[in-house]
Amino acid sequence: MALALRRKKAGGASQPPPFRQASKWIDERLGLSKFAPKQLSKVFPDHWSFMLGEVTLYCFVILLATGVYLTFFFEPSVREVTYNGSYAPLVGTQMSAAYKSAVDLSFDVRAGLVMRQMHHWSALLFVAAMVLHLLRVFFTGAYRKPRELNWVIGVNLLILAVINGFLGYSLLDDLLSGTGVRVGYSILLSIPLIGDLAASLVFGGPFPSPAMIPRFFALHVLLLPAAIIGLLSAHLGMVWFQKHTQFRGPDRTEHNVVGTPLFPTYAVKALGLFVLVVAVVAAMSGLAQINPIWKFGPFAEAKTVAAVTSASQPDWYMGWMDGLLRLIPGWETRVAGFMIPNAFWGGIVLPGITFTVMMLWPWLEPRWTKDRKAHNLLDRPRDAPFRAGFGAGVLMFYFLLLLAGSNDVLATIFSVSPENITYVFRVLIFVGPVVTYLVTKRICEDLQGTNAHPAAPGPNHLVIRRADGGYDIAHGVHHDDPHDLVVDPNNTNAPAPGEPIDKGPTSKRKPKPKPKPKPKKEVQN
Amino acid sequence: MNERHIAPAFIVAVLCAFGFMVTYGFDGNTQLQGGLLGGAFGGLGVGMILWAKHLMPNEEVEDHRHEMESSPEEQQEFNELIEGAAGDVTRRKFLSRLGLAAVGSIGLAALFPLKSLGPNPGNSLFRTGWAKGLRLVTQEGKPIKATDLEVGGALTVFPDNGEHRNERDSTIVVKVDASAIKPRRGRESWAPEGNIAYSKVCTHVGCPVGLYRENTQELLCPCHQSTFDVLDGARPIFGPASRSLPQLPLSIDSEGYLIAQSDYKEPVGPGFWSRGRRKMEDD
Amino acid sequence: MGFGRLLPVGVACAAVALALSTGSVDAADGGAGTPAQAGSQGRDASPTDRPGGAVGSGRENYYVPQDATPADLANPVEYGRSLYVQGCSTCHGLNGEGASDADEDFPPLIGVGAAAVDFYVSTGRMPVNKPMQQYPRKTPVYNGEQVKALAAYITTLSDKVGIPAGPDVPRVHPEQGNLAAGNQLYANNCASCHNSQGSGGALGQNYYAPRLDAATDVQIAEAIRIGPGAMPVYGPNTFSEEEVNSIVKYVGSLQDAENPGGLPLGGTGPVPEGFFAWFVGLGALLAVARWIGTRV
């Protein structure tokens, strides 16, 4: 498809218009005109849920841009300095240069705080959008052949994003994040056989080591972003090359892709989405305070070495791990002087199982479904009730763990003791996912074959009144009329002569205007 | 929807962008900066989306999806290409095995510098800075007399061994009614005049056990709610901690200040693999 | 347009998020009918300081005595005794000796000291209609003179028995304190229960450390010295007067804290921030995506 742009010739007939000049210049060097038209007319299905991956990508771009700005001001060093900036409660306090540079950025650099907040809010949104994107891919079965590799790359991106987020907010060396780093160190320590050596190697010595902050900086700014960019490029490249999946619909088959061509409309919409993501992040960064490190104070500094604040939680994407640490009772294995500490199970084993199963899922699911064909058409969740139920159950498990990780905050909000919340959650994390699985699976089975929205009122039933006065539901009949239709062949409800007419239960829902008249069922007398 | 409807979005963007420049110039507050940036990007984005949705072609187009799998001929050609060159290598068993050994040993050698990342843990997990005779001092360096704390008081203390305070040495000393203490065997002399000291490093994952519930004499860790009974050797009575907080043996020096009798008798803090394998030396 | 359905959902989510983040350190609600008080009640008392929100009952449930007459003011001990007998003796005994029944121990007040009386009564924690595990701040029943009279009377009870009178109402001079030193002392000793931002926290077993937004300078110093409820006791040999001044000065700065970044979201750290990111941020982005993309 040639993209003809008609332009009036500028000036005299000898000078081609500027775009043509530029296009020729590039073409002589890169041969762009040969492959650009085909690539620019690539078709992208544009269901709104396909934009979640884009939102994730744009949050990452914001992170890179704001992150670069932050690196110009942040000093990744634990060199001890005395604060002398404009935040009065800290003046004269000893602190690390890292913490001081962050407080200075927040108070004494113009637009510094808004940049810091944009970086942190978009980090939270980055992982949140990634999780939503993962859920969309999961519940629609987009990870099936030929996209298993892309799924694995995606799960690894999630792991890297979570780790990088943790390293990022720990860089600031404030009291809250420092407590979290202590927990991370202890989790490494809990690994059998090699834990003490592993912790010492990663942290550069016993906790808190002066090597921590500079190392975190190198990981957070250099190594992990490079890994993320590499994997992300492969991720996007595969989507480009394999073409995006699409939902079933008119004219859509396994062998075509229906949507909007990339240029111009889809590209403008994608860019517009990017701009709006920045807008939302910027608005949040002005509206809501995040990580007010000046209130927490510095970590492990000379005068506050063993301080801690109540309501110590990690950022939300690690909240589920904190929940595991809180819920697992004090089980510790001790054999012949060797010990497997409590933290090992919640800190290493369960997260390990989580991500391993997640990564292997494209190969695990066919064991049940026996479906090893390639798929380019997506399932709606209701089309795969087991997958939807399983996914919902697992999601509920991690959501409950996330809530359990805030048990002390929940305790103060609801005026309940944290102990009781812990006991309740210990039961709930087993019961909740099972119930969720059963309910979701059932809803999917009920919705199969219909186009009803899951949140819409349930399918209406034809209700038949028996001679003895009881009711039977006629299965498999679905109407669009919101009123239940009661067919009363034996007229058990007919009023006696002279009695006022009983109109029966009235529906509180207003009837939707009918698009076309439906034949009314007659009440037989 | 035409240009007249979309234009205001871009105008808002322009105004907000200039507004941001102005507030930046006057050192405006974060709310204004964020809001104006949001308005600028928002106006631009809304304008772009409206333009794309209403003024650009939006018909659905179909494109053919190529079969991912290559034709048998293409696969054959590719396989022959790789197998040809690779087979040439694998046929030379002697050389290829030596080559593998070279690569393998270099790979192994490359791992060695990782060891320099950190010291051997050695004794570090088994010892703290406490030693016989060292006074208990606060974070500010003030020594504590046995009579300083009120019954029901609690303080964080460190050994008086120099300016640098180490998190591992952190100890919480609590004053209770001496007759209420149920000392463990051998610890009868460790809590003079009701001053009882425990390691502040939680035995779960190492957070400072900073909460003292004075009316029930329990220490609580804020991270994961491990609760320790102060009168019973800091035994964990709730939460994920499985070991009591190590107790620091105290005594009183000639001037009435609290001092340590020795280092802790067991490793402080979270557990690790070889924790039970080394005997703690007495100072 | 799908906006129609999304908008109420988005508003509901934002409402949930904001509801979860109530309890900001800055919001010092004025109690209903707070009398203009002198002495230790200089500030509007919050109806409660439970981190999670109001539970206390109002002033209207208690018998509020008449204001002091000049004769009363001239005889504070006698005035205090009459107030005590009227409002406190049912639980604490006619002579402050305390009482014990099947369920509860009502503590004796002999020797508690003027600081304890002032703290409990000026914060409205006492009197109460029924015993509780922990007594939240609520609108005070007695005014400044009446509190002084009660304190004077209670002090005489210990004189009669010959035991020490307990801590007196401390003299606080926050302007003489050092803000940075107070910051460090607070971080080391107070933050683990009351939170770095002063928004309080759970202490387990249904105890809680209250929010500090409504405490006056004198009340803070009193709490430090008497260690009410689950709070440890920090006597003059633990914290000197200068150190108490510094802590009070620092808590004052927490109460007046500006939040340059925007809404403090309850001051409890990453938990409400996570909710805000999901419900407000992602909610907005979902709305945007649904606007841009198709629904089929």
Neighboring chain C residues of B216 at a CB cutoff of 8 Å: 205, 230
The answer to whether residues B13 and B44 touch, using CB atoms and an 8 Å cutoff, is: yes
The answer to whether residues C196 and A313 touch, using CB atoms and an 8 Å cutoff, is: no
Residue A451 has pLDDT above 60, yes or no: yes
Task: Give residue-wise pLDDT tens across range B192-209.
Answer: 999 999 999 999 999 999
Residue C201 has pLDDT above 60, yes or no: yes
Q: Is the Cβ pair C196, A90 closer than 8 Å?
A: no
**Cβ-based neighbours of A396, under 8 Å, separated by 6 or more:** A432, A433, A436
pLDDT > 90 in chain A, percent: 65
pLDDT > 70 in chain B, percent: 98
What's the whole-number mean pLDDT along residues A27-52?
A: 91
Report the pLDDT value the prediction gives residue A251, as an integer from 0 to 100. 85
Report the pLDDT value the prediction gives residue A136, as an integer from 0 to 100. 97
Interfacial B residues in 137-166 facing A (CB < 8 Å):
139-140, 156, 158, 163-166
Q: Is the Cβ pair C208, A92 closer than 8 Å?
A: no
CA distances from A393 to A131, A367, A388, A432 (A): 15, 19, 8, 8
- C16 and A CB contact within 8 Å: no
What's the whole-number mean pLDDT along residues C291-295?
A: 87
pLDDT > 70 in chain C, percent: 79
Beta strands in chain B (DSSP E): 61-64, 136-137, 154-159, 171-175, 195-199, 211-213, 218-220, 227-229, 235-238, 247-248, 250-252, 258-260
Report the pLDDT value the prediction gives residue B23, as an integer from 0 to 100. 92
The answer to whether residues B236 and B221 touch, using CB atoms and an 8 Å cutoff, is: no
Residue A390 has pLDDT above 60, yes or no: yes
Report the pLDDT value the prediction gives residue A453, as an integer from 0 to 100. 74
Report the pLDDT value the prediction gives residue B59, as an integer from 0 to 100. 86
Token pair in block for residue B269: 């803090």
End-to-end C-alpha distance for chain A, whole angstroms: 67
The answer to whether residues B204 and A325 touch, using CB atoms and an 8 Å cutoff, is: yes
Report the pLDDT value the prediction gives residue B163, as an integer from 0 to 100. 72
Mutate to test the interface with B, among A96, A148, A186 (most CBs of B within 10 A): A186
CA distance A406 to A444: 32
The answer to whether residues B212 and B151 touch, using CB atoms and an 8 Å cutoff, is: no
Report the pLDDT value the prediction gives residue A396, as an integer from 0 to 100. 96
Report the pLDDT value the prediction gives residue C163, as an integer from 0 to 100. 87
What's the whole-number mean pLDDT along residues A206-235?
A: 95
The answer to whether residues A91 and A83 touch, using CB atoms and an 8 Å cutoff, is: yes
Q: Which residue has the higher pLDDT, C53 or C244?
A: C244
Q: What is the ipTM of this complex?
A: 0.92
Interfacial B residues in 9-48 facing C (CB < 8 Å):
29-31, 34
CA distance A293 to A90: 11
Task: Give residue-wise pLDDT tens across range B69-92.
Answer: 889 999 999 999 999 888 888 888
Q: Determine the Cα angle at A221 with ends A216 and A223, to 5°.
A: 85
Handedness of CA C146, C150, C151, C156 (dihedral sign): positive
Token pair in block for residue A326: 């809180």
Paired with A189 in beta bridges are: none
Q: How sure is the predictor about C8, in pLDDT bands with cuts at 50, 70 and 90?
A: low
- B32 and A CB contact within 8 Å: yes
Estimate to the nearest angstrom the gap between the alpha carbon of C190 and the chain centroid. Answer: 14
Torsion angle, CA of C265/C271/C276/C279, rounded to 10 degrees?
Answer: -140
**Cβ-based neighbours of B114, under 8 Å, separated by 6 or more:** A201
pLDDT > 90 in chain C, percent: 43
Torsion angle, CA of A202/A208/A214/A215, rounded to 10 degrees?
Answer: 10
What's the whole-number mean pLDDT along residues A127-132?
A: 97
Neighboring chain C residues of A416 at a CB cutoff of 8 Å: 206
3-state secondary structure of C134: coil
Residue A461 has pLDDT above 80, yes or no: no
CA distances from A158 to A132, A164, A168, A231, A350 (A): 11, 10, 15, 11, 16
Residue C25 has pLDDT above 50, yes or no: no
Paired with C202 in beta bridges are: C208
Report the pLDDT value the prediction gives residue B88, as an integer from 0 to 100. 84
Q: Is the Cβ pair B51, A205 closer than 8 Å?
A: no
Q: Which residue has the higher pLDDT, A396 or C164?
A: A396
Report the pLDDT value the prediction gives residue B68, as an integer from 0 to 100. 84
Q: How sure is the predictor about A486, in pLDDT bands with cuts at 50, 70 and 90?
A: low
Q: Which residue has the higher pLDDT, A342 or C40?
A: A342
Report the pLDDT value the prediction gives residue B193, as an integer from 0 to 100. 94
* DSSP label at residue A305: T
Report the pLDDT value the prediction gives residue A236, as an integer from 0 to 100. 97
What's the whole-number mean pLDDT along residues C21-47?
A: 34
Instruction: Name the average pLDDT for chain A.
Output: 86
**Cβ-based neighbours of B264, under 8 Å, separated by 6 or more:** B128, B130, B199, B246, B247, B248, B280
What's the whole-number mean pLDDT along residues C145-159?
A: 91
CA distance C24 to C198: 9
Token pair in block for residue C111: 């020797």
Angle between helices A195-203 and A175-189 (to 10 degrees): 140
Task: Give residue-wise pLDDT tens across range A246-263.
Answer: 998 888 888 999 999 998
C neighbour chains, 3+ CB pairs within 8 Å = A, B
Q: Is the Cβ pair C194, A273 closer than 8 Å?
A: no
Q: How sure is the predictor about C61, in pLDDT bands with cuts at 50, 70 and 90?
A: low
Please name which of B243, B245, B166 lies closest in space to residue B210, comparing C-alpha atoms.
B245
User: Helix, strand, coil: what percent of chain C each, to 5?
Assistant: 50, 5, 50
Mutate to test the interface with C, among A43, A44, A48 (most CBs of C within 10 A): A48
- C56 and A CB contact within 8 Å: no
Report the pLDDT value the prediction gives residue B140, as an integer from 0 to 100. 83
pLDDT > 70 in chain A, percent: 85
Q: Is the Cβ pair C188, A303 closer than 8 Å?
A: yes
CA distance A283 to B266: 53
Neighboring chain C residues of A276 at a CB cutoff of 8 Å: 285, 288
Q: How sure is the predictor about B165, in pLDDT bands with cuts at 50, 70 and 90?
A: confident
CA distances from A9 to A6, A28, A468, B132, C288 (A): 9, 22, 88, 94, 40
The bridge status of strand A485-487 relative to strand A462-465 is parallel
* DSSP label at residue C209: E
Neighboring chain C residues of B214 at a CB cutoff of 8 Å: 227, 229-233
Residue C31 has pLDDT above 70, yes or no: no
What's the whole-number mean pLDDT along residues A364-385?
A: 90
Q: How sure is the predictor about A130, in pLDDT bands with cuts at 50, 70 and 90?
A: very high
Q: Is the Cβ pair A243, B65 closer than 8 Å?
A: yes
Residue C20 has pLDDT above 60, yes or no: no
What's the whole-number mean pLDDT along residues B2-9?
A: 90
3-state secondary structure of A462: strand
Paired with A257 in beta bridges are: B63
Token pair in block for residue A411: 């305790």
Instruction: Name the average pLDDT for chain B.
Output: 91
Count Cβ atoms within 10 A of the Cβ of residue B138 and give its class: 0-12 exposed, 13-18 middle, 19 or more buried: buried
pTM assigned to the model: 0.86
Q: Determine the Cα angle at B104 with ends B102 and B109, to 5°.
A: 95
For B172, phi and psi rounded to 5 degrees? -110, 125
Neighboring chain A residues of B277 at a CB cutoff of 8 Å: 337-338
The answer to whether residues A36 and C277 touch, using CB atoms and an 8 Å cutoff, is: no
CA distances from C289 to A48, A52, A149, B46, C229 (A): 5, 8, 26, 12, 52
CA distance C40 to C143: 10
Task: Give residue-wise pLDDT tens across range A67-107.
Answer: 999 999 999 999 999 999 999 889 988 899 999 999 999 99
- Give the amino acid at B229: D
What's the whole-number mean pLDDT along residues A170-192?
A: 94
What's the whole-number mean pLDDT along residues A472-489?
A: 54
Q: How sure is the predictor about C50, in pLDDT bands with cuts at 50, 70 and 90?
A: low
User: How is A86-145 classified by DSSP, letter by letter?
Assistant: S-GGGTT-EEEHHHHHHHHHHHHSTTHHHHHHHHHHHHHHHHHHHHHHHHHHHHTTTTST
What's the whole-number mean pLDDT along residues B143-166?
A: 90
User: Which of B215-219, C105-109, C253-257, C258-262 ranks highest by mean pLDDT?
Assistant: B215-219
Q: How sure is the predictor about A466, in pLDDT bands with cuts at 50, 70 and 90?
A: confident
Residue A31 has pLDDT above 60, yes or no: yes
Report the pLDDT value the prediction gives residue A207, as an integer from 0 to 100. 86
User: How is C9-27 classified by DSSP, letter by letter?
Assistant: HHHHHHHHHHHHT---TT-
Q: Which residue has the higher pLDDT, C45 or C280?
A: C280
Q: Is the Cβ pair A273, C288 closer than 8 Å?
A: yes
CA count, 13 A, side-chain hemisphere, A293: 27
Q: Which residue has the higher pLDDT, C234 or A16?
A: C234
Q: How sure is the predictor about A495, in pLDDT bands with cuts at 50, 70 and 90?
A: low
